[in-house]
Amino acid sequence: MMRIVITSELAPDLVAELQNKHPELQLVFTTERELSQHLSEAEVLFVRRLTVEQLQQAPLLKMVQIPYAGMDQLPLAALQERGVLLANARIHGETISELTLGMMIALTRSFAEIHRNQQQHKWLRVPQQLLMGSTLALLGVGTIGGEIAKRAKCFGMKTLGFTLSGSSHPYIDESYSSNQLILQVSRADFLVAACPLTQETHHLINQTILQAMKPSAYILNIGRGPVIDEAALIAALQAQVIAGAALDVFEKEPLPVESPLWDMPNVLVFPHLAGNLEGNSRRAAQIFVENVSNLLAGSPLTCAVDLSKGY
């Protein structure tokens, strides 16, 4: 009897579906705090995070499923060494891409300044810019980056895509490898970080990249905070090296109250909510239920993670 340990949300009807399809399964529902008590016999985990120490307590583990896309809270190297399969949930493309376009519109249409003027009862016309005809550089063109590019094309934007492989994409006009970012970033009116956090992408956007950007350019981060060197970004914003930023993720979360980013008039701070959408937890759970069947059948996992690459 395969034991599956679950700390993530799993709706009753999906529990019933899993049990009806596979009555031989033993489902154990617990909390993150009590997870370690159930690891010794666990063969499958549906959890939000896992430590190296917890992995060592699970000698029978075959598969881990997480309910979101990012994997920086998982011991990827240890999972690979053990031969444990990992799947994530790539379900946030639509919601994050819509917010990203909203961020760009808010920046170019001076929404924050307009709102401040409204609060002070000031009738002032402020500068307005079009997205049409501007250039978007996307660092990462996976599920989320691809959806951003798709929507950007509807606004008449030119799209540049940067990935480790430099592979093409239907909604990307020009594709480059990530190490070519320094050569092309001066063309961008918007630089959007939409890539996973790996050793290669940590502080990939740094002082050198920021100094190469247009003074009129904006930077957005809807991926992972440490992809951007936050200290370098703050310095660039204070020195007006770039025009502004919209940030949904940060190197330390919650963003410390003393961070200068809170009070910068050219910065929009979001509390890591880009992927929040009613129904997402169910979509993630459906992938998990599907993957249990895949595992038992010996079929490839849906949203399988390549542990050698980290995404």
pLDDT tens profile 243-283: 999 999 999 999 999 999 999 999 999 999 999 988 999 99
**Of 283, 280, 288, 282, nearest in space to 65 by CA:** 288
Q: Residues 38, 90, 92, 224: which is the catalytic one? A: 224
Q: What is the mean pLDDT of the chain?
A: 97
283 is catalytic: no
- Is the whole model's pTM more than 0.85, yes or no? yes
Q: What value does the mean pLDDT take over residues 92-116?
A: 97
User: Is residue 49 annotated as a catalytic residue, yes or no?
Assistant: no
Annotated catalytic residue within 32, 53, 200, 253: 253
On the 0-12 / 13-18 / 19+ scale of CB atoms within 10 A, 164 is: middle
Mean pLDDT of 62-68: 97
**Contact, 140 vs 191, CB < 8 A?**
no
State the pLDDT at residue 278. 87
pLDDT for 211: 98
Give the burial string for 38-61 (b: 16+ CB within 10 Å, else e).
bbeebbbbbbeebeeebbeebeeb
CA distance 210 to 154: 27
Provide the pLDDT for residue 258.
98
Helix axes 111-119, 93-108, angle to 10 degrees: 60
Kindly tell me the burial class for residue 31, based on how many C-beta atoms sit within 10 Å of its own C-beta (0-12, 13-18, 19 or more).
exposed
pLDDT for the residue numbered 289: 98
Structure tokens at 177: 């490898």
Catalytic site residue from 3, 169, 272, 282:
272
Q: How confident is the model at residue 304 (pLDDT cuts 50, 70, 90)?
A: very high
> Whole-angstrom Cα distance, residue 200 to residue 203?
8
Helix pair angle (93-108, 143-154), 10° resolution: 50
In this predicted structure, what is the pLDDT of residue 239?
98
Identity (one letter) of the amino acid at 26?
A: Q
pLDDT at residue 72 is higher than 90: no
Banded model confidence at residue 21, pLDDT cuts 50, 70, 90: very high
Active site residue 92: no
